[in-house]
């Protein structure tokens, strides 16, 4: 398996592999960039079809975290962890403890948090073996769970995109197609419903769809039919690469704004959206609410930083995602350059200025 010549390598500072035969753990941690601070990113558990698929995912996700933290103005770098396995069948305390040992061995260059296939309870288990874990502070807004903040950031972003593209100051009657109703997607759907939006939903888990239909009066949509709906907004909130060669031609929405990471299969798809006049809200800007939340949770643990300050600063930062998006949209229009290119440039300007690679304090590590 080639690393340095991998198409997604993008000058990663470190890629570490871990195998623990006793627990069955097979995991990869990728640290993309630590110029602004230690790499913080979620730990995903997924039954990848191949090791190469897992490597590609972790490289893409960790890079996205670097850009996400930079655009959110956080003193953090970008990293990610993936565990190869089915979270419904393969997850055990022994496996999570082994993952904690793996993270601890990196000495603080990477800090983990929950992600797809993991939970706050899992992070607490990992935390038995390492202090480099976040999103577990029980006194925080949602007991350590950052997904509500992620969802609210997506809602703020979607609202900003609707204003910019459609000139609407509210979401009443705005048609939104949501792909994926997990922790973030369902909370987003609730907020959109409360704002008066009309919802169309799909998910690989039928129970999630049934719940949205029952509780939110959403319209259920079968699988890939979600792409071709005549709606205002398409909100991808499942796995990455939702915008690809097969789906991009089906889109009828005028806005793409959702929670999923790496929504564009390739950069060319971002150019195609721009050429078609579809406003794309770059995913790592839109879904930054969760990383903002765990950042402030960690500040509460490490510094004399009270709950009131956490709540105030968290709310301000998440609302600020809309402001950042507005700047990206305006600059994209002025320069006739796709929004994802503008977002990349702004992020790179920020993390490239800090040239020192973060090394943990050997005492605290």
Rounded Cα gap, residues 310 and 297, in angstroms? 7
Give the count of beta carbons closer than 10 Å to the beta carbon of residue 288: 30
Q: Could you confirm whether 80 is annotated as catalytic?
A: yes
CA distances from 243 to 250, 258, 271, 330 (A): 10, 11, 11, 23
Pick the closest to residue 296 from 283, 305, 285, 287 (CA basis).
305
User: Exactly one of 68, 80, 91, 125 is catalytic; which is it?
Assistant: 80
Put residue 68 in one of left, alpha, beta given phi > 0 → left and psi -120 to 50 → alpha: alpha
124 is written with which tokens? 């607490």
Give the count of beta carbons closer than 10 Å to the beta carbon of residue 308: 8
Residues forming beta bridges with residue 114, ordered by sequence position: 43
Pick the closest to residue 340 from 280, 261, 263 (CA basis).
280
Rounded Cα gap, residues 72 and 18, in angstroms? 31
219 is written with which tokens? 């319209």
Q: In terms of C-beta density within 10 A (0-12 exposed, 13-18 middle, 19 or more buried), how is residue 124 classed?
A: middle
> Per-residue DSSP letters for 7-75?
TT-TT-SEEEEEEETTTTEEEEEEEEE-SSSSEEEEEEEE--SSHHHHHHHHHHHHHHHHHHHHHTT-S
Contact 40, 57 (CB under 8 A): no
Please tell me what DSSP assigns to residue 142: T
Catalytic residues: 80
């Amino acid at each position: 398996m080639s690393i340095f010549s991998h198409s997604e390598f993008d000058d990663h500072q470190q890629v570490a592999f871990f195998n623990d035969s006793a627990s069955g753990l097979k995991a990869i941690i990728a640290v993309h960039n630590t110029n602004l601070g230690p790499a913080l990113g979620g730990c995903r558990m997924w039954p990848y079809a191949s090791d190469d698929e897992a490597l590609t995912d972790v490289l893409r996700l960790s890079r996205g975290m670097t850009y996400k933290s930079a655009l959110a103005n956080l003193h953090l770098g970008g990293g990610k962890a993936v565990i190869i396995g089915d979270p419904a069948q393969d997850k055990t305390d022994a496996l999570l403890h082994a993952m904690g040992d793996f993270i601890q061995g990196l000495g603080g260059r990477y800090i983990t948090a929950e992600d797809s296939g993991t939970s706050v309870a899992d992070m607490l288990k990992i935390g038995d073996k390492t202090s480099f874990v976040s999103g577990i502070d029980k006194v925080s807004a949602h007991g350590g769970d950052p997904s509500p903040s992620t969802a609210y950031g997506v809602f703020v972003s979607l609202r900003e995109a609707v204003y910019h593209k459609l000139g609407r100051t509210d979401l009443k009657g705005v048609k939104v197609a949501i792909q994926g109703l997990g922790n973030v997607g369902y909370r987003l759907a609730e907020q959109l419903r409360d704002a008066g939006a009309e919802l169309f939903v799909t998910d690989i888990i039928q129970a999630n769809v049934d719940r949205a239909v029952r509780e939110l009066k959403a319209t259920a949509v079968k699988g890939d039919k979600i792409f071709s709906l005549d709606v205002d907004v398409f909100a991808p909130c499942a796995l990455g690469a939702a915008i690809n060669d097969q789906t991009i031609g089906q889109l009828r929405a005028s806005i793409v704004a959702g929670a999923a990471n790496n929504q564009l299969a390739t950069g060319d798809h971002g150019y195609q959206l721009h050429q078609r006049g579809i406003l794309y809200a770059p995913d790592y800007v839109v879904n930054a609410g969760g990383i903002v939340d765990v950042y402030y949770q960690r500040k509460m643990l490490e510094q004399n930083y009270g709950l009131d300050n956490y709540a105030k600063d968290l709310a301000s930062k998440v609302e600020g995602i809309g402001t950042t998006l507005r700047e990206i949209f305006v600059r994209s229009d002025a320069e006739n350059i796709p929004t994802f290119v503008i977002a990349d440039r702004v992020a790179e300007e920020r993390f490239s200025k800090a040239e020192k690679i973060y090394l943990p304090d050997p005492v605290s590590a």
